[in-house]
Amino acid sequence: MSRIGKKPVELPSGVSASVSGQTIEVKGPKGTRSFTATDDVTLSVEDNVVKIDPRGSSKRARQQWGMSRTMVANLVTGVTEGFKKELEIQGVGYRAQMQGNTLKLNLGYSHDVDFTAPEGVTITAPKQTEIVVEGIDQQQVGEVAAKIREWRRPEPYKGKGIRYKGEFIFRKEGKKK
């Protein structure tokens, strides 16, 4: 029995959901998102509540039950609040700034790194050492943040690099004589 799947997904005011076959479309103040569930679950909308039920008791049906419920809950969160990832830059001379739709990163390379924001994701740099990635698709926001972080991962000796806000980097002791 899926503990997550049993919980219905409540639709807040201003959010509407419609089901056609195995596809659910959620509309809210920030936009529209859709998700296509597998044939192992059934989706239904009644009284501002989305309910997901398994079609059988196989292991795959129970797996898809909890996963589908979480995906629908993420759709609702995305169209109401949106998702946000915050990155911070540490290192002497490391900085970030926005120029139109392009994020310019100075990360100690012989050249600046230009990162263009994909459709549906907004990138801002409130300070030279902070980057904020926002959007309504959780997967896309996380992927963009990971791609930015990939340019200069935090290293364990000096702690320089791009890290998620609040991330702890285990520091190593350097060589001794």
What pLDDT digit, counting tens, does each position of 124-147 carry? 999 999 999 999 999 999 999 999
Quote the tokens at residue 102. 């392009």
- Which residues make Cβ contacts (< 8 Å) with residue 136, sequence separation at least 6? 30, 31, 33, 78, 79, 82, 83, 120
Taking the C-alpha atoms of residue 137 and residue 33, their distance in angstroms, rounded to an integer, is: 8
Could you give all domains of the chain from N- to C-terminal order, each with its CATH number? 3-80 (3.90.930.12), 83-164 (3.90.930.12)
Pair 162, 153: CB distance under 8 Å? yes
Given a cut of 90, is residue 165 above it in pLDDT? yes
pLDDT for 1 equals 60
pLDDT for 3 equals 83
Pair 172, 156: CB distance under 8 Å? yes
Given a cut of 90, is residue 177 above it in pLDDT? no
pLDDT for 124 equals 94
26: β partners: 17, 33
Percent of the chain with pLDDT over 90: 83
